Amino acid sequence: MKEIAKRVLIGITGSISAYKTPLLVRELIKNGIEVRVAMTPTATRFVSPLTLENLTRHPVAVDMFDERIQNDGSWHVHLSHWCDAMLIAPCSATTLAKLSSGNCDNTVTALAMSLPEKTPLLVSPAMDTEMWLHPATQRNVRSIEQDGALVIEPEEGELASGLYGPGRLPEIDALTSHVLKLLNRMELISQNEEMMRTVDAALQQPVYDLQEGVDHDAFDAELELQHLKESLPISEQLRGRVVLITAGPTREKIDDVRYISNHSSGKMGYALAEIARDAGAEVVLISGPVDLPEPDGIRFESVESAQEMLQAVQVHWTDADVGIFAAAVADYTPVAPANGKIKKSDEEVEFVLKKTADILAWAGENKGNKAVIGFALEAENGLENAKAKLEKKNADMIVLNMVNQPQSGFGGDHNTITLVGKHGEQSFDPMMKTQCARLILAAAGELLGSSKST
Ligand code: PMT
C-alpha cells in the first residue's frame, strides 16, 4: 500500500492574516504531517521566517538563491516533488494574479508552478472585501480553478482594516480540516488505484492463476465504493453475450398458505444481472420471490419453486453463453403439497420431502461451449465442499461463500467470496456484492475467452 500522503508545502504570501500561519503549521505537525514553508518577501513583513524555521526545523524558502535550500540548484523541483499537497495561505490578490498568469518571480509561485500534475494545490485567499470582489481577482480565481487549483472561499467577517465582509482567512481549525480532508481523499484514491491495479493484474490471469488479494479497507468509504463501482474492469468478452443468472430463494409449497424457503434476498444475483447488463451483456434473470425491483433492460422471469426455476433455465439455456447460478434453490420439496390450508391439530405432523431437481447440475450436464458458474453456500469445510461441487456439477467455477461469517452470504450488501477454479482458488476480503459481481463477471469473461480458444 502506498505510504499515506502526509507532506505539505505551505506557501505564505503578503497579508496581515499571515500571522495565523505559524499556528496552522503547528496544528498540521500535531496531526502527523511533515511541513515545509515557502514565503514571498512581502509575507516576511507580517510573520518571521525564523518562527517557521523553528516550527518546521527546516529552512524556509524565501530567497531563491538561499544556499540552504539549493539542492544543486533545483530547489523548486526538489520541494514541489517532495510534497503530497501544497497550500497557499494566505494567498494575496497579487499572488492570485501571478498564479493565474504563470508568473514565477518568487519562491511561492515558482513552487506552485512546479508541482507535478497529480499534486493538488490548495489556495486560501485572504484580502480586503473590495479586493476580493474585484472582477480582476474573481477572474484570477476562476482561471486558477480552471487550471486545477482548489480554492477555499474566504470567510465573511471583520477584517483587519475594520471593514466587514468576505475576505477573512478561515480559522486554523477550518484550514487544518481542509488539508486533512484532501490528504484523506488522496490516500483513498491511491489505495483505490493500487487495489485496481491488483485486481486488474489478477484479472489478466485465468481464474485459477489469481494470486493477489484485495485490500478491503479501501472499500469502507462510500466515496471509494462509488469510484470502484464505476471503475473496476469487467472483461470485454461479455459484450453482446447472453448471461443467464438465477437469483433469490425458491418457495416449495406445503399448502396454499405455507412453504419451505430460505433467507436469500436476491441481492447477489441482482447485482450480477445489473453489472452484466452494464457491461453490455444480454441478461436473462430468473428470480425467485424477492423484494427487489425488477432491473431495467434485461429479460426477467419470475418463478416460485425449484421446478419452475429449472423450467425457466431450460427455456433460455440454448441462447446462453454463460450461466451463473446464484439462487438459493431449496434442496427439498414436499412430495404431496396440499390444496387449501392444512388444518391445525394437536397431533404431530410429518411431511415427506423429496429432493428438488439440481438446476446447476443440469446446466453442467448440458454445458456445450457455455461457461457454467455455480455458488456454494457452506457452513463448514467450505473449500473442500466447493471443490467437490465444482467436480460433481461439471462447473467451470464455484463462488464459495460461508453462511456463518460476518459480511457473507444471505441478506446484507456485502459478501466474502472465494473463486474456486479447476486449477486453484482465490479468496477475497469482504466487499460489496456489486464488487463481488464485478470479479465474478470478469472471471466469467475470462472463461468465455478460454473456452472460445480451445
Ligand atoms: O440472495 P442474497 O441474500 O444476496 O444471498 C446470496 C446467496 C448467499 C444466496 C448466494 O451468494 C449463494 O451462495 N447462492 C447459492 C446458495 C445455495 O443454494 O448454495 P448451495 O451450496 O446449496 O448450492 C450450490 C449451487 O447449486 C448453487 O449455485 C445453487 O444455485 C445450485 N443449486 C442448488 C440446489 C438445487 N436444487 N439446484 C441448484 O441449482
Q: Ligand 1, closest atom to CA 262?
A: 9
Residue 70 CB neighbours (<10 A) = 12
How does residue 192 score in pLDDT terms, banded at 50, 70 and 90?
low
What's the half-sphere exposure (Cβ side, CA atoms, 13 Å) at 53?
10
Average the pLDDT over 307-334 and give the result: 98
**Pairing mode, if any, of strands 164-168 and 155-158?**
antiparallel
Give tens-digit pLDDT for 150-175: 999 999 988 877 888 899 999 999 99
Residue 328 Cα, ligand 1 centroid: separation in angstroms? 4
Using the predicted structure, report yes or no on whether residue 230 has a pLDDT greater than 60.
no
Residue 329 Cα, ligand 1 centroid: separation in angstroms? 6
Residue 346 CB neighbours (<10 A) = 4
Using the predicted structure, report yes or no on whether residue 311 has a pLDDT greater than 70.
yes
How does residue 219 score in pLDDT terms, banded at 50, 70 and 90?
very low
Separation of alpha carbons 367 and 395, rounded Å: 9
Three-point CA angle 233, 237, 238, nearest 5°: 85
Q: Ligand 1, closest atom to CA 415?
A: 11
Between 255 and 226, the more confident residue is 255
> Where in the chain are the domains?
7-181, 236-453
Q: Ligand 1, closest atom to CA 247?
A: 1
Residue 269 Cα, ligand 1 centroid: separation in angstroms? 10
Separation of alpha carbons 113 and 92, rounded Å: 16
Average the pLDDT over 28-40 and give the result: 95
Nearest CA to ligand 1 atom 16: 328
Residue among 245, 250, 264 to mutate when testing ligand 1 (max atoms within 8 A of CB)? 264
On whether the CB atoms of residues 208 and 423 are closer than 8 A, the answer is yes
Residue among 377, 383, 387 to mutate when testing ligand 1 (max atoms within 8 A of CB)? 377
Which pLDDT score is estimated for 449? 76
Of 3.10.20.30, 3.30.450.20, 3.40.50.10300, 3.30.360.10, the CATH number of 236-453 is 3.40.50.10300
Residue 287 Cα, ligand 1 centroid: separation in angstroms? 12
Give tens-digit pLDDT for 50-96: 999 999 999 999 999 999 999 877 899 999 999 999 999 999 999 99
Separation of alpha carbons 348 and 325, rounded Å: 36
Nearest CA to ligand 1 atom 5: 410
Which pLDDT score is estimated for 222? 46
Identify the CA nearest to 24 among candidates 112, 124, 111.
124
Q: Return the amino acid letter for 247.
A: A
Residue 447 Cα, ligand 1 centroid: separation in angstroms? 20
SS3 category, 129: helix
Nearest CA to ligand 1 atom 13: 377
Give tens-digit pLDDT for 261-297: 999 999 999 999 999 999 899 999 999 999 999 999 9
Residue among 375, 404, 417 to mutate when testing ligand 1 (max atoms within 8 A of CB)? 375
Q: Return the amino acid letter for 228.
A: L
Which pLDDT score is estimated for 185? 73
Give tens-digit pLDDT for 393-450: 999 999 999 998 889 999 999 999 999 999 899 898 888 999 899 999 999 998 987 6
How does residue 13 score in pLDDT terms, banded at 50, 70 and 90?
very high
How does residue 3 score in pLDDT terms, banded at 50, 70 and 90?
very low
Three-point CA angle 290, 331, 258, nearest 5°: 55
Check for a shared fold between 7-181 and 236-453: yes
Residue 159 CB neighbours (<10 A) = 22
Q: Ligand 1, closest atom to CA 398?
A: 28
Average the pLDDT over 330-340 and give the result: 96
Between 4-8, 232-236, 419-423, the lowest mean confidence (pLDDT) is in: 232-236
Give tens-digit pLDDT for 92-141: 999 999 999 999 999 999 999 999 998 999 999 999 999 999 999 999 99
How does residue 191 score in pLDDT terms, banded at 50, 70 and 90?
low
Give tens-digit pLDDT for 314-324: 999 999 999 99
Which pLDDT score is estimated for 188? 61
SS3 category, 42: helix
Residue 224 CB neighbours (<10 A) = 18
Separation of alpha carbons 69 and 48, rounded Å: 17
Helices 172-204 and 21-30 meet at what angle, rounded to 10?
Answer: 40
Q: Ligand 1, closest atom to CA 417?
A: 11
Among all residues, which ones are annotated catalytic? 262
**Nine-digit cell string for 242:** 447472453
Separation of alpha carbons 41 and 172, rounded Å: 23
Average the pLDDT over 194-202 and give the result: 57
In the structure, which protein residues have their CB atom closer than 6 angstroms to any atom of ligand 1? 246, 248, 264-268, 306, 325-329, 331, 356, 358-360, 374-377, 389, 401, 409-411, 415, 433
SS3 category, 158: strand
Which pLDDT score is estimated for 201? 57
Q: What would the CATH number be for the domain defined by 7-181?
A: 3.40.50.1950
Give tens-digit pLDDT for 35-57: 999 999 999 999 999 999 999 99
Which pLDDT score is estimated for 4? 46
On whether the CB atoms of residues 263 and 327 are closer than 8 A, the answer is no
Between 204 and 113, the more confident residue is 113
Using the predicted structure, report yes or no on whether residue 312 has a pLDDT greater than 80.
yes
Q: What are the start-end ranges of the H helices in 211-320?
A: 222-231, 267-278, 306-317
Residue 300 Cα, ligand 1 centroid: separation in angstroms? 19
